[in-house]
Amino acid sequence: MSPRALELALLLALAELVLALGPAEQGEAAVGAAPPGLAAFHRAAKVRSVGWGDSHAAECPPNPSPLLVSPQASWRLPGRYLVMLRAGSEAELRGTARRLQARAARRGHRAELLHVFHLLPAFLVRMSSDLLDTALKLPHVKYIEEDAYVFAQSIPWNLGRIVPPQPSSGAYSPPNKGDLVEIFLLDTSVQSTHREIEGKVTVTGFESIPEEDGTHFHRQASKCDSHGTHVAGVLSGRDAGVAAGAKIRSLRVLNCQGKGTVSGTLMALESIQRTLGARPYAPPVLLLPLAGARSPALNAGCRSMARTGAVVVAAAGNYKDDACLYSPASEPEVITVGATDSEDHPASIGTLGTNFGRCVDLFAPGDDIIGASSDCSTCFTARSGTSQAAAHVAGIAAVLLSAELQLSLAELRLRLLRFSSKNAVDTAWFPAEQRLQTPNSVAGLPTRLPAGEGEQLLCRSVWSERSGLARHGRAVARCASTEEMLSCSSFSRSSSGLGEHMEDKDGHRQCVAHSAFRGQGVYAIARCCTRPRAECQINTSSPAAEGAECSPGQHVLTGNTQHTGLQTSEPGGQGSMMTSPPAYAVDNSCVAAAVPGSSSAAAVAAELESFHGTAGMEALLSCVSLARCLSRVSRTIQALTCS
């Protein structure tokens, strides 16, 4: 070995001896958690090396080398580090890795070499953060970077369906994050330590579940959490949640097999009611991503919660059936949600699919939804169902309530419908007899909520179930408790009926439609609206009168109905069966169908352009058809007036 080579070897050995000293011996501060920002990761300490054969000391590059970590805590992967070296040979690279492993072993730690890169002078190592000081002082180390997650930059299809991504960022940008709202989740247990929902879920400790099927049933804990964890992630997940700021309170009503009981769910509702006490700062949202056979008791429990100010959202069910046959989906005070796929088709779920019908309020994404998986704290998975769809609507409700804390359930429901996409669902998937009653709306949000939304007049149509075929068959439609019924109409597929009328029952208005003899049954259709300070009354004419008029004063005619109590018993006999074109409202449009044997039909729509002198409010209030009678009959006419 030449003298110069020997000199360099001794110099390197001496430098390594100096660097091997601990932090206390060198007067170095321990490496702590660095704040965000690149400058914060650079270490300023320097070590002087000893020269050999020189008349002066030579200064080494800054030492220790900088440690770089992601400024986003949720993106970090602690314990995995990329060690970047200054340019050198592969032998130097592997030598540095071996020195790190040897020093870790002397300190009772392990440094596991995961990969040596050929693309650049670096290696990947798994080690404790306690070894960072040692690693940062190794020769040839340029810097150490903590490993971190990277993400696809196309947002999940379901979030893009709720709020169209902004061209500038391509990100999901709701009007707010639902920060002011608490969501009560009645589901399986939840893995609250998952990265998506960590710090957002409070496990209440409530549990009321049936025993698992089978004497020796055993399920991993992660499987018991799977449904609840995924739904919680859709609600409030950091990366895949609809309302990332909403807080969740978890109540366990489903066991590891996803089964619960009506009584257990009612106990959970009772527990929530006790927790709420006085009316909260913002209305709480209750999410029931479950369904069972129609239960009057469960419906009554949900109705009780809704009438105390809670917003109750439920899954329509995954049985490809009429949602009115299931609970809590069949309860009118519940916001019931069906599921659609990325093409806005009704979601097929296993061998069945989403429920449908008049008890569904709207649809939402519920197919192939990416969300938190309970398999590990950073795992994701895709699940499908009306549970996922209901979670989307509960998240949207949290956003809307955070913007308007005083919204009633009726006002919230109508805002959900207003911001939804209309005529988006392919109704050919539904049975023919359910297509008219099933709403054609997919939940959504604007990027900004319009100002003055509380003064808007918003309406929806509520269909009854079909009347029987008996001579005196009746169908009854009712609005929610905080809605105003502003018109009443009827529909019969045979275009025959005895009209409809409004009546007050137990303090609430209802729309009653009358079936004609030998008809095919009739539907009653109530037009249900919310408008602050509107007071309405029914004016009914006598059978001999020409019509009904508005009361004196500042009243606005919002709807009219007609019906007769007479019936014809034989075809061609003198009676009163009316053959009026069926008329019904779809969103803000009035639709009339032709009478069999007739070539035309006409509809009359009554729209309100201003109310109390406030311009800009427009909604369809009444939808009636031009009727023609087979004979002169005595009819009663009603007019609904509002002030």
Q: 183: which 2 tokens?
A: 């969501």
**Which residues pair with residue 398 across a beta bridge?**
none
Cis amide bond preceding 139, omega within 30: no
Point out the catalytic residue in the list 133, 147, 187, 225.
187
Residues 6+ apart with CB under 8 A from 76: 69, 70, 146, 148, 149
- In angstroms, the CA 79 to CA 103 distance is 17
Whole-number Å distance between alpha carbons of 303 and 290: 16
Could you write out the DSSP letters of every residue in 19-57?
Answer: HTS-HHHHTPPPP-PPPSSGGGG------BPPPSS-SSP
- Count of Cβ atoms closer than 10 Å to residue 456 Cβ: 19
Decide if 236 is catalytic.
Answer: no
∠ Cα 35 39 40 (to 5°): 25
Which of 362, 359, 297, 298 lies closest to 324, judged by CA? 359
Active site residue 227: yes
The helix or strand, by DSSP H or E, that contains position 182, with its residue range, turns out to be strand 182-187
Q: Give the sign of the dihedral formed by CA 173, CA 178, CA 179, CA 184.
A: negative
Is position 54 annotated as part of the catalytic site? no
Q: Which residue has the tokens 């009959």?
A: 633
CB-CB contact of 496 with 579 (8 Å) = yes
Angle (CA) 553-555-557 rounded to 5° is: 145
Question: Cα 350–355–357 angle (5° rounding)?
Answer: 160
Q: Choosing from 236, 387, 441, 576, which is the catalytic residue?
A: 387
The one catalytic residue among 227, 230, 392, 555? 227
Q: Which amino acid is at 262?
A: V
| SS3 state at 228 | helix
| DSSP calls for 433-482 | GGTTTS--EE----SSPPTTGGG--EEEEEEPPPP-SSTT-EEEEE--TT
Q: Rounded to an integer, what distance in angstroms lies between the CA atom of residue 265 and that of residue 590?
A: 40
Q: Give the DSSP H or E segment for 545.
A: none
Tokens for 520? 């095919």
- The encoded tokens of residue 127 equal 């080690």
CA–CA gap between residue 391 and residue 188 (Å, rounded) = 14
**Which residues, other chains included, contact 300 with Cβ-Cβ below 8 Å and sequence gap of 6+?**
none
Alpha-carbon distance 144 to 634, whole Å? 92
DSSP secondary structure string for all residues of 261-313: -HHHHHHHHHHHHHHH-SPPSS--EEEE---EE--HHHHHHHHHHHHTT-EEE
Active-site amino acid positions: 187, 227, 387
